[in-house]
């Protein structure tokens, strides 16, 4: 596996993510609220999630891209994941604080941010065919699942019947 930095390396995947992510945070900085996972035992999963996520971003900077076919397929998958992530963050930001987020992409997924991350980095894996990206992405998905289960409980406690109706639909 070739690692390095140049036009034929995958550095542009994390650069595009950072541009959109920080752009959204700047546009909606007053609208984002802290996440629900305040239960102490979930903190380890939250920290692991951050480690895996930033490790994926850093590794993605230096991995050589594969053939044009894999680059095109990986980029399409990456853009799909990025669109899901951006949509999730947008609807999260504009949602009323005292109600669960149920509009936009949240109509189709209760955890579209995690889904978007997984799809984005699966696209990076396809474009690079780097096994480390795949392994870390799978680990990130497992940890994100643990966090999502706790967030579900927190949402049920916080929003009660509104969230239960949303879960059923």
The two structure tokens encoding residue 121: 């980095």
pLDDT the model gives residue 131: 92
- Structural contact between residues 112 and 98, judged by C-beta atoms closer than 8 angstroms: no
Q: Collapsing DSSP states into helix, strand and coil, what is residue 3?
A: strand
Structure tokens of 116?
A: 């978007």
Give yes or no for residue 33 having a pLDDT over 70: no
Q: What angle do CA 75, 131, 142 make, to 5 degrees?
A: 90
Query: Can you give the pLDDT at residue 154?
Result: 81
Give the tens place of pLDDT for each residue, 71-126.
999 999 999 999 999 999 888 888 877 788 888 999 999 899 899 989 999 999 99
pLDDT digits (tens, 9 = 90+) for 132-147: 889 989 988 998 888 8
120 close to 17: Cβ distance less than 8 angstroms: yes
pLDDT at 147: 84
Q: Count Cβ atoms below 10 Å from residue 33 Cβ, excluding itself.
A: 10
């Amino acid at each position: 596996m070739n690692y390095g930095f140049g036009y034929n390396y995958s550095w542009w995947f994390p650069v595009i993510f950072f541009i959109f992510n920080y752009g959204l945070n700047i546009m909606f900085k007053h609208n984002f609220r802290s996440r629900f996972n305040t239960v102490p035992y979930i903190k380890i999963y939250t920290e692991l999630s951050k480690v895996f996520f930033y490790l994926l971003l850093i590794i993605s900077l230096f991995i050589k891209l594969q053939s044009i076919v894999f680059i095109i397929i990986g980029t399409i998958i990456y853009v799909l994941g990025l669109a899901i992530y951006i949509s999730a963050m947008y609807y999260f930001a504009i949602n009323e604080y005292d109600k669960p987020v149920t509009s936009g992409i949240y109509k189709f997924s209760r955890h579209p941010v995690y889904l978007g991350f997984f799809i984005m980095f699966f696209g990076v894996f396809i474009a690079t065919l780097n096994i480390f990206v795949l392994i870390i992405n799978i680990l990130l998905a497992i940890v994100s699942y643990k966090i999502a289960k706790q967030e579900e409980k927190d949402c049920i406690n916080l929003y009660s019947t509104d969230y239960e109706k949303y879960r059923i639909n």
